Amino acid sequence: MAGRPRKNPEFPPPPPETLGERLRDERVRLGLTQEHLAEILGVALSALQNYEQGRNTLKTPVLERLRRAKVDVDYVVYGRDAAALEPLDADLWERVKAWDAANPNDADGKPLNEYSRYQRVTLFYRWLREDSGSQGEVEERLSKLLRSRAA
């Protein structure tokens, strides 16, 4: 059989593995053409095509514009849909982001750019979730951190 295999609903395709594939998925999910998304992002059509094909890396300003365009940046960058978080996880994520908003600088007191803060929050969130066995331990760890930063 020549050509691409036909789609079979019983065997859905694997989830996209690359940032470019996930960016394309999000664009399609939002019902945008490449031309329209390129215009929203303020980039050339060829630049968007290069992002989707994995030939160029998304820079911080473009990620910020994607976020403002209602693109799920969590999904595009990390392959995890923010809407798919469990209720506890969504609450924890919001609390971690609130902690970050109150602490916009690095350990040396220098301001962090938006993307660095996003990376820091994501890593911190994962650390809280993965290194703690129970909901109580996660809550206690975050509460201690919030109290120590407020002091």
Half-sphere exposure of 29 (CA within 13 A, CB side): 13
**pLDDT given at position 86:** 58
pLDDT level of residue 119 (50, 70, 90 thresholds): confident
Domains of the chain: 19-78 (1.10.260.40), 85-150 (no CATH)
The band of 92, judged by pLDDT with boundaries at 50, 70 and 90, is confident
pLDDT range class, residue 103, cuts 50, 70, 90: confident
Cα separation of 27 and 45, whole Å? 13
Please, which pLDDT band fits residue 125 given cuts at 50, 70 and 90?
Answer: confident
Angle between helices 45-52 and 34-41 (to 10 degrees): 110
Residue 72 contacts residue 82 (beta carbons within 8 Å): yes
Please state, rounded to an integer, the average pLDDT across all residues of the chain.
77
pTM: 0.51
The whole-number pLDDT of residue 9 equals 52
Do residues 37 and 27 lie in contact, with contact meaning Cβ atoms separated by under 8 Å? yes
